[in-house]
Structure 1
Amino acid sequence: MEQTNTLRKSRRVATDCRLEFIGEDEVDGVAEMLDVSFTGCMARSEHVMPPGFRLRLSLFLTDGLEWPVRVDEAVVRWARGGEVGIEFVVMRPPQLHRIQQFVIKHRPVS
C-alpha cells in the first residue's frame, strides 16, 4: 500500500479545474487538476514533468471568479504515467486564502 495518505499535510478536494503552467526552460502547457489542497494538487497532463521540475501555476478554480489563482513557485513531487503531484512552494497570502476557501466549501477526497 502506498504511503501517500499518511504523508498528506492537508485536506484534499476533488476538482476538474484547468491548470496552466510555465516551467523550467520556459516550457509551458495545460493540465487538468484532479484534486487540490492548501499545500498542492494532483494533475494530469500530456507534458512530461519529472520529480523536481519547478514551475509557476495558474489555477482556474470553479469558485465563480474569472481570474486564476497564481502560484509563484511549485515543484513536482511525484510523477506516474500522465499524473503528477505538485507542491505549492511560494504563493501570496490572498492566493492561498482563495484556495483555502475553495477547499473548505467542497467535500474532501476519501
Structure 2
Amino acid sequence: MEQTKTPRKSRRVATDCRLEFTGEDEVVGEAEVLDVSSTGCMAKSDSRMPPGLQMKVSLFLSDGHDWPVRVDEAVVRWARGGEFGVEFLAIRPAQLQRIQQFVIKARPLS
C-alpha cells in the first residue's frame, strides 16, 4: 500500500530554536525545533510525545526578540522516535505574524 504525501499547508523553514511545552496532565517539557511554519513545527525531544496530546507552546525563535512566541493551543499530530509534529490550533494574530515574518526571512526547506 503506497502512502501519498499530503501537500503542506504552508512554507516550512529549517531552524534550531527551542520549544517549551505544557500539556495535559501537567506534562511539561522542552524540545529542539527542527523546522517551523505558520501552522506548526517538527521537533525532537527526549520526552515521549503521544499523538493527540494537547499543549501550550512557547517557541524561542532566533529573530532578535528576547521573549518567545506563545501558541495558546497546539496538538501533537505524529511521533516517530524522538521526533514529533505539532499543529498550531489557536494562536493570537501578533504571535502568528511573528512566525510568518521569521518564515519569510528564512531559507525554505526543499
Normalised-by-shorter TM-score class: over 0.9
TM-score, structure 1 as length reference: 0.95
Distance 2:4 2:86 in 1: 16
CA RMSD of aligned residues (A): 1.1
Match of 1:99 in 2: 99
Match of 1:46 in 2: 46
Structure 2 counterpart of 1:38, which letter? Answer: S
| 1:14 and 2:14 are equivalent in the alignment | yes
Distance 1:61 1:2 in 2: 33
TM-score, structure 2 as length reference: 0.95
1:59-97 Cα offsets, whole Å, 9 max, x none, are 000000000000000000000000000000000000000
How many corresponding residue pairs?
Answer: 109
4+ runs of 1 displaced by more than 4 Å? none
Match of 1:60 in 2: 60
Structure 1 counterpart of 2:24, which letter? Answer: E
Give the superposition deviation at 1:7.
Answer: 3.0
Gaps of 5+ in 2: none
Give the superposition deviation at 1:8.
Answer: 1.1
SS of the residue corresponding to residue 7 of structure 1 reads coil
